[in-house]
Structure 1
Amino acid sequence: MDLAHLVLYHLSLCCKRKYFDFDHEILSFTNENWDSLLLGAVRIFPLSGTMMQ
């Protein structure tokens, strides 16, 4: 879900439009920029509320 929002936000900024073709614009942008869109390692913090220092 977050990836879809990120791609649509970027396309709307650079193309100045609201609607995009899924196959030709959204998928091609995602495939071309896949490495840049990947998140790093996810860190899980303890539920006790203490922050790691």
Structure 2
Amino acid sequence: MNKAQFIAALAPHFNDSKKEAAHAVDIVFDTIVRNLSKGEDVMINDFGKFKKVDR
């Protein structure tokens, strides 16, 4: 599933507004990225854990 498909799947929860669903997805991803950039792990129960990995 790519980002567009994810947004389309969420749209029914936002009165079929892909614009509002996309905004919500962007907020979630932005929040995850900002916390990772500060060196913090992000744990979302029943979903997963995100952490920065140096390569």
Same fold (TM over 0.5): no
State the structure with bigger RCO (CA 8 A, min sep 6), 1 or 2. 1
- Normalization by structure 1: what TM-score? 0.35
Question: Quick check: which one's strand share is greater?
Answer: 2
When Rg is computed on C-alpha atoms for both structures, the one with the higher figure is: 1
